[in-house]
């Protein structure tokens, strides 16, 4: 059994980094279990009604966080000298019975049945879409120089609708594959396509049946708006989209040189199908309705002490929003409190801010604390900040993200997503080591978690990032950390039971906070800013 007194360990850590500067007040700095509990119980209380983006409950959460920043004496870093960066969002709904998909084979006109044979989402850009164009099959629709992939090679898709199979080749590493997968629209748009049709596959059907997608497609899509009111729709030339059921998809291949059955067989065999003209055209129509809401990020800065380095920032992020109320009326409790997701991360960030403020040792670089909205809607608040930062993005040297630390057991190790991509990996290992905590490898690489939280929009803009989660081992005899974590995920994640009456281990929260504090402290005080490792795929994103 490994047992470290965290206060002792922090004192050692500080005495190492403090060197000549001997201020005795440093030694006692540690997160406080009661403070973590107080923050969490407020943020995850029923009164905040699940903190949905744009809701009153989330506004109250944001005000609470701003009040805490203010009481710590942190400087406002939002808009116009306030702590708030208010963001406008557009919610888009598909108008009932407006979606149609007509195929023209040259001989016949065939209508696909909505939503049995195809589904489509609303447009965030226009209220009416009507696109008619030839179809071109483009395999997976991927392009990557690093992996020697160009599914568009030899194909002219200018003014055409591209048809692609969903997913990606199995041989791609999970994080890189997930990134490329999320760039498919970009690849199509850059080549002048006017629409995208995704094909459901038999393999996908086994994991997530088409009917499940049909069930979820009624949810509105949410996009953030630029300050000038323009929606953040990067590729306006893509004015049509559809997701086609795998059997119905055969109709698109009646004139094709290769039949769909063979394409699916190639996928099954682990091959990437080649593209070709489908020899048919399609007309896709839909109508969309738009609504506007607004919701704030909350930002504060602790200025650095070094004349030069204070213009650089270590950015802590934690999302304050959650998924609001459940529509499942079969349950008594309708409030998704989001205690672990992510009242816990915000609580850790607030305690981290207090520790920096009260450590008696001002960091050389400035520290920014950013509580983020609309994470649950697709990392939107983080994406907005990455596009409209309140300090120059090039001066943000690293992002330490806090999202859903599962503080339900006495964890003995941490997993640090992003640690293999930059010099932050060494920083995390040192910080955790000082507290007697191991750094473990990602136990679920297939989940590509590195691309699934608020640090990712910053990564895409070139900011090295790291995101810790509690590992799967425990310091307590007989406790299986992986089992507790898995049980949380299976039974409470995104459900009303993710609430403060879970058996929360606030002492584990103290350790988790102390590690994240130590990470930021090292980044803030080291001479060089963190760097991407040259061999990392994410070092070369444009």
Site of interaction with Zn ion (CB under 5 A): 341
Whether the Cβ atoms of residue 295 and residue 61 lie closer than 8 Å to each other: no
Cβ-based nearer residue to Zn ion, 197 or 335: 335
- Compare residues 341 and 410 and give the one whose CB is closer to Zn ion: 341
CB of 338 to Zn ion, least distance (A): 7
Torsion of CA 39, 41, 44, 49, to 10 degrees: -110
Residue nearest to Zn ion (CB): 341
Kindly tell me the burial class for residue 329, based on how many C-beta atoms sit within 10 Å of its own C-beta (0-12, 13-18, 19 or more): exposed
Tokens of 419: 């640690």
Minimum CB separation of residue 209 from Zn ion in Å reads 23
Determine how β-strand 75-76 pairs with β-strand 276-302: antiparallel
By residue count, the chain amounts to 542
**Closest distance to Zn ion from the beta carbon of 116 (Å):** 31
Nearer to Zn ion, 13 or 61 (CB): 61
Q: Indicate the SS3 state at residue 505.
A: coil
Cα dist from 161 to 42, 140, 217, 335, 357, whole Å: 50, 14, 21, 42, 55
Whole-number Å distance between alpha carbons of 241 and 215: 18
Nearer residue to Zn ion within complex by CB, 341 or 522: 341
Smallest gap, in angstroms, from Cβ of residue 341 to Zn ion? Answer: 4
- Closest CB 493 distance from Zn ion, rounded Å: 7
Give me the helices (H) in 269-403, please.
344-358, 380-387
In three state form, how does the secondary structure of 99-117 look? CEEEEECCCCEEECCCCCC
Q: How far is the CB of 402 from Zn ion (least distance, A)?
A: 13
Quick one: 89 or 137, whose CB is closer to Zn ion? Answer: 89
- Per-residue HEC secondary structure of 9-37 comes to HHHHHHHHHHCCCCCHHHHHCCCCHHHHH
Cβ proximity to Zn ion: between 117 and 341 the closer is: 341
Least gap, CB of 494 to Zn ion (angstroms): 6
Give the nearest distance from C-beta 449 to Zn ion in angstroms: 12
Residue 259 to residues 157, 163, 367, 451, Cα–Cα distance (Å): 20, 14, 57, 34
Q: Which is nearer to Zn ion, 376 or 442 (CB)?
A: 376
Closest distance to Zn ion from the beta carbon of 136 (Å):
37
Q: 151 in helix, strand or coil?
A: coil
How far CA 337 is from CA of 47, 58, 220, 278, 346, in Å, comes to 9, 11, 22, 49, 13
Give 370's strand partners: 299, 317
Choice between 52 and 341, CB closer to Zn ion: 341
**Spatial CA neighbour of 84 closest among 114, 120, 59:** 59
In the complex, least distance from residue 39 CB atom to Zn ion, rounded to whole angstroms:
18
CB of 160 to Zn ion, least distance (A): 37
Burial (0-12, 13-18, 19+ Cβ within 10 Å), 66: buried
Beta strand pairing status for 100-104 and 109-111?
antiparallel
Nearer to Zn ion, 341 or 442 (CB): 341
Nearer to Zn ion, 49 or 341 (CB): 341
Three-state secondary structure along 410-445?
CECEEEEECCCCECHHHHHHHHHHHCCCEEECCCCH
Query: Which lies closer to Zn ion via its Cβ, residue 45 or residue 514?
Result: 45
Q: Which is nearer to Zn ion, 355 or 449 (CB)?
A: 449
Residues forming a β-bridge with 423: none
Residue with the two structure tokens 């005495």: 15
Shortest Cβ distance from residue 376 to Zn ion (Å)?
Answer: 5
Phi, psi of 175 (to 5 degrees): -70, -45
């Amino acid at each position: 059994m490994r047992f470290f007194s965290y206060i002792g360990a922090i004192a050692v850590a500080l005495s190492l980094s403090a060197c000549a500067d001997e201020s005795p007040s440093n030694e006692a700095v540690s997160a406080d279990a009661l403070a973590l509990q107080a923050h969490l119980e407020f943020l995850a209380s029923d009164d905040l009604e699940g903190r949905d983006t744009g809701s009153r409950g989330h506004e109250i959460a944001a005000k609470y966080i701003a009040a805490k920043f203010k009481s710590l004496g942190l400087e406002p870093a939002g808009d116009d000298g306030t702590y708030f960066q208010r963001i406008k969002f557009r919610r888009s709904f598909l108008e009932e019975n407006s979606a149609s998909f007509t195929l023209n084979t040259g001989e016949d006109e065939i209508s696909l049945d909505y939503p049995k044979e195809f589904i489509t989402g609303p447009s965030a850009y226009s209220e009416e879409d009507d696109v008619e164009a030839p179809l071109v099959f483009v395999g997976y629709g991927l392009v990557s120089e690093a992996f020697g992939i160009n599914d568009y090679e030899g194909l002219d898709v200018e003014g055409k609708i591209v048809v692609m199979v969903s997913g990606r080749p199995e041989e791609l590493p999970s994080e890189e594959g997930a990134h490329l997968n999320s760039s498919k629209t970009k690849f199509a748009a850059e080549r002048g396509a006017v629409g995208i049709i995704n094909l459901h596959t038999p393999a996908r059907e086994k994991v997530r049946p088409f009917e499940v997608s049909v069930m979820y497609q009624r949810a509105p899509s949410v996009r953030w708006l630029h300050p000038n009111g323009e929606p953040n729709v990067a590729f306006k030339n893509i004015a049509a989209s559809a997701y086609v059921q795998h059997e119905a998809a055969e109709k698109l291949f009646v004139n094709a040189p290769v039949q769909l059955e063979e394409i699916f067989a190639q996928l099954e065999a682990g091959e990437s199908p080649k593209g070709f003209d489908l020899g048919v055209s399609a007309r896709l129509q839909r109508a969309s309705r738009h609504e506007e809401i607004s919701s704030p990020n909350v930002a504060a800065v602790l200025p650095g002490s070094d004349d030069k380095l204070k213009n650089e920032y270590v950015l802590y992020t934690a999302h304050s929003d959650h998924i609001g109320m459940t529509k499942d009326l079969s349950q008594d409790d309708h409030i998704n409190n989001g205690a672990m997701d992510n009242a816990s991360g915000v609580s850790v960030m607030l305690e981290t801010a207090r520790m920096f403020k009260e450590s008696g040792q001002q960091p050389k670089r400035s520290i920014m604390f950013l509580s983020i909205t609309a994470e649950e809607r697709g990392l939107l608040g983080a994406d907005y900040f990455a596009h409209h930062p309140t300090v120059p993005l090039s001066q943000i040297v690293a992002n330490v993200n806090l999202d859903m630390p599962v503080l339900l057991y006495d964890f003995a190790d941490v997993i640090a997503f992003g640690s293999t991509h930059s010099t932050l990996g060494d920083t995390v290992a040192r910080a955790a080591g000082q507290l007697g905590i191991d750094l473990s490898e990602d136990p679920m690489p297939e989940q590509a978690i590195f691309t699934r939280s608020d640090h990712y929009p910053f990564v895409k803009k070139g900011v090295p990032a790291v995101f810790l989660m509690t590992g799967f081992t425990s310091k307590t005899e007989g406790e299986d950390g992986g089992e507790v974590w898995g049980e949380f995920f299976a039974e409470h994640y995104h459900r009303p039971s993710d609430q403060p009456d879970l058996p929360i281990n606030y002492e584990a929260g103290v350790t988790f906070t102390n590690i994240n504090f130590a990470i930021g402290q090292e980044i803030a005080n080291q001479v060089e800013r963190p760097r991407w490792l040259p061999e990392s795929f994410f070092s070369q994103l444009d």
